[in-house]
Every structure is written in C-alpha cells, then in structure tokens.
Amino acid sequence: MLDPPEFRKNAHEVVDWMADYLEHVEKYPVKSQVTPGEILRQISEEPPLIGESMETLLKDFQQVIMPGITHWQSPNFFAYFNANSSYPSLLAEMLTATLGAQCMIWETSPAAAELEQRVMDWLRGMLGLPEHFVGVINDTASTATLCALLTAREVATQFAINREGFAGVEKLRVYCSGETHSSIDKAVKIMGIGKENLVKIVTDPSLAMNAARLSDAVENDLASGCKPLAVVATLGTTGTTAVDPLRKIAEVCKSHQLWLHVDAAHAGTALLLPECRWMIDGISQADSFVFNPHKWMFTNFDCTAYFVKNPDLLVRTFEILPEYLKTIPRGDVKNYRDWGIPLGRRFRALKLWFVIRSFGVNGLQEKIRDHISWARELSKEISANDSFELMAPVPLNLVCFRYKQKGPETSLDDLNKQLLFKLNSSGKIYLTHTRVHGRYALRMCIGQTNTTRQHVKNAWEFIQATAAEMAVSG
C-alpha cells in the first residue's frame, strides 16, 4: 500500500509523464504497430501475491503497455471520429478520480447533481436546442439511444411492456436510414422487438434518409397491422457525415405520432456554430437528442449529452425505488439514477464544466470552425487532383475520398485498401475507411484537439506521395 508521501511523489511523476506525453505525442506511431497477442504475452499469467512497487508498475506501463497504445491524442489522428481530450478535461478527470464519488442520487454528491443540471442547460443553449429540452449525462450515445427507444416503447404501449412483457403487443417498428450507426441495431435487439423490425429506409444520393420513402414505409406497416414506434434521424452519419432531413422526418413523425430520436453523436458539436444549425431545422418536434462531447468537444471519453422533451416519461420508464435508495422526493432535487440504465454514475459534469469554462464558447467555436474549414480546403484539393476522387459531400469535418488508377472498379477497392494499409503502417498518420454507394473509400476526419492546418497539409502531401510510390512500384 502506498502511503501519502509516496502517493504525492508518484503523482508528481505521473503528471510530469502526462505533460511530456502530450507535448511529444507526435513521436509515437499514431496507430499501434503491435501484432495480436504481443502485449498479452508480456503480462504475467498470474496476479502477484505480494504487492509490487509503483516504480515497477510505471516502468511496465512504459515498456509493456505504451507500444500497444493507439494515440488518439495525436494531431495526426484522422481515423473514425475523434475521442478528444484537452488539458482542462484531463485536470477535471484527475479531480473526479480523486474524489471517487458515486453520483447516483442528489444526496451522494449534491454538487454533482446540480452541476450536471447547470452544464446541461448551458449545452442546450450553446447548441441552439429548444428551451423545453432537459439534459442528462450518459456514458455513450449507444446507451442514450437505447434509453430513447425504451422510452418510446413504453410510451407507445402505455408502459405495458415494463409491467407485463410483450404478450399481446403488435409488431413494433423502428425506422432509420441504411447509413445509421450500428448502435441503433444494437438498441433494437436489446429492447426486445426483434431486429427484423428495424426498417432501414433508403437514402438519397447524398446518403441522407429519403423522407418520402419513410412515409411510405410507415403507411405500409400500418396497413399490414404493425405498430410504427419511432424514427431515428442521424445528423452526421458515421460513414460520411450525411445529414438526414429533420424537418421532413419530423412531419412524418407528427402525422403518425412516432417518437423522433435524433442521433448527432459526432455532428452535435458543430451546432456550437450558428452557421451549422441548418441541421436542426425541425428539432422542436424531436422527442430526444443525443450528442457526444467526448467525440469532438475536447472532453475525455466518456461523456454523452442526452436531451429529452419530457423527462417524466424517461423517469417513468426507468424508475425503481427500493427502500435503501429512498431520499428526498424527486420534485425537490434531481436524482439522476432514475434517468437512465445504470444506478451508479461517475461525476462527468466536472470535466464538461472545466472544458466549457476554460475554452469559453468562443474558443470552442473557433476550433470547430477551423476543423470544418480545413476539411473544405482538403476536399477542394482532392477534387482538383486527377489521381483522387471525392466520394461524398463534405458538410462538416469528414472527407471521404479514394485514389484512382485506370482499371476496373473492383481493382480500385483493392488499390485503396493497400493505400490505407501503407499509410497506417507508416505510423505517421491514421485514417480509416468506409463504403460509399458500395465503393471503398478512405475517411479522413479533421477534428483532433491539437491538429493544425499544417498537420492536414502534411497528411495530404504524405497521402499523395504514398499513392505515387505505389503507382511507380506497380
């Protein structure tokens, strides 16, 4: 067991290591270059019977663990969507870990509950969401979407499924586009309506949901005796950041009284910019909305902001009140344990508070605006280059493109797979891929906290040079 002086000494060393790491993160290969099992083989098969020194642990952390880390905080990380950190967020996480508070009910840390309430209100205003939305922090967007669909299920069946199970309930149907994130498929499986009842609506050439086809699908289902339940509209799909037409979808939901859940896991952060709020035209009709500050808003994973129009419905879906949790009645304080799936809750509001106050709204906007404008610049460069092709519109900070050579369409898929492999094995940058209308495309997301315009330019030059080398070596 460490004693207080030892803890102080080790903590100082760790903080120094953290500062050095972040300052020099570019020296590491962005994507970990280890092979499967390489780390596992170095970890003792049995736990130690006698405690080891912190020196030994920290040495092993450097030697065994670090080679197996992919560096999400590298400014050359352009893969997936970001999972950003920032100095204020890190400091808050250190405090949260130190307090070790479990913030399930108001009494177990009143400051956590009241800060959560306040920062969720701040976020609602910062994103231009409707005043009637009320927010709660979740771990992930997957959880928030599950909460949304469970609430929709209970509301549509007058809370009968919670009470009696599914006996006698018609086929419940949920709708989303074919480009929607897999967390919706997972939520539908968990909520028990059967994954065959998730209806994937075709998309337009822009890869956004076709609202007319949604309307047709709902009407067909009604005609065949199914019960349409909810629609999930995505703002910023994972593949290409396509934006579903919210107002038109909202009209379909309104005419059939369907729950409208909006998944803006990544793109929600762009709503900090008034010029991006065209995406939420029609939002006042939505029943629930989710976005992840832990993606693009410089807040350490995990931190998801979930907003609902009617918190009473959410609470009614999840509320269970055993004797040992009975405290002050709900009307007086917010007991967030009733607002979602887990009972235990981390103190996540602190890092959001630190991030928002340290950057300021203007500081956050500036960064997001830069990312979007660098993505646009890159997309223009790609369009102007005969050896490359832009594969999808670039409404935000994600650029999908591919390398072109003469040859059949299918050979381009392989060519781009090879290019991606070469780029990522270099350790210099990290990109991922998607399929756009069935064709293999590289995805480059420009959104890391410390990425500069120069990083984007360097990455683009490196991509062109690597592709040119492939052309020469044939």
Which residues sit at the interface with ligand PLP, rule CB under 6 A?
81, 140-142, 181, 183, 234, 238, 263, 265-266, 292, 304
Nearer to ligand PLP, 234 or 434 (CB): 234
In whole angstroms, give the CA distance from residue 10 to residue 56.
12
Contact partners, residue 422, CB within 8 Å, separation at least 6: 466, 469, 470
Q: Which is nearer to ligand PLP, 14 or 83 (CB)?
A: 83
Q: Nearest Cα to 22, choosing from 98, 89, 95, 80?
A: 89
Asked if residue 293 lies in contact with residue 303, where contact means CB atoms within 8 angstroms, the answer is: yes
Query: What's the closest the beta carbon of residue 31 comes to ligand PLP, in angstroms?
Result: 17
CB nearer to ligand PLP: pick between 157 and 292:
292
Closer by beta carbon to ligand PLP, 237 or else 335 = 237
Smaller CB distance to ligand PLP: residue 229 or 243?
243
- What is the β-pairing status of strands 259-263 and 439-445? unpaired
Question: Toward ligand PLP, which CB reaches closer, 144 or 211?
Answer: 144
Distances (CA, A) of 326 to 105, 318, 321: 10, 15, 7
Measured from the CB atom, is 142 or 269 closer to ligand PLP?
142
Q: Tokens 């007086």, residue?
A: 332
Give me the least distance between CB of 142 and ligand PLP, in Å please.
Answer: 3
Give the nearer residue to ligand PLP in terms of CB position, either 400 or 415: 400
Task: Give dist(CA 148, CA 465) in Å, integer.
Answer: 46
Residue 181 CB, shortest distance to ligand PLP, in Å, is 4
Least Å distance, CB 434 to ligand PLP, is 11
Residues 408 and 139: their CA atoms lie apart, in Å, by 45
Query: Rounded distance, CA 157 to CA 151, Å?
Result: 10
CA distance 244 to 247: 9
Strands 432-436 and 398-403, bridge-based pairing: unpaired
Block residue for tokens 């500036």 = 366
Query: Closest approach of Cβ 183 to ligand PLP, in Å?
Result: 5
Nearest-approach distance from CB 80 to ligand PLP, in angstroms:
6
* Nearest residue (CB) to ligand PLP, 199 versus 467: 199
Helix (H) or strand (E) holding 136: strand 134-138
- The least distance separating ligand PLP from the CB of residue 128, rounded to whole angstroms, comes to 19
Which residue type sits at 207?
L
> What is the C-alpha to C-alpha distance for residues 288 and 307, in angstroms, rounded to an integer?
6
Nearer to ligand PLP, 265 or 394 (CB): 265
Compute the least distance from the CB of residue 139 to ligand PLP, in Å: 8
Looking at residue 327, what DSSP letter applies? -
Q: What is the smallest separation between the CB atom of 471 and ligand PLP, expressed in angstroms?
A: 33
CA Rg, the chain, in Å?
A: 24
**Alpha-carbon gap, residue 422 to 406, rounded angstroms:** 20
Helices (H), 345-447: 349-383, 409-425
Residue whose CB is less far from ligand PLP, 292 or 451: 292
Residue 308 CB, nearest distance to ligand PLP (Å)?
17
What is the arrangement of strands in the sheet containing 288-291, beginning at the earlier edge strand?
A: 134-138, 304-308, 288-291, 259-263, 227-234, 172-177, 198-201
CB of 82 to ligand PLP, least distance (A): 10
Contact 353, 120 (CB under 8 A): no
Alpha helix positions (H), 176-245: 182-190, 211-223
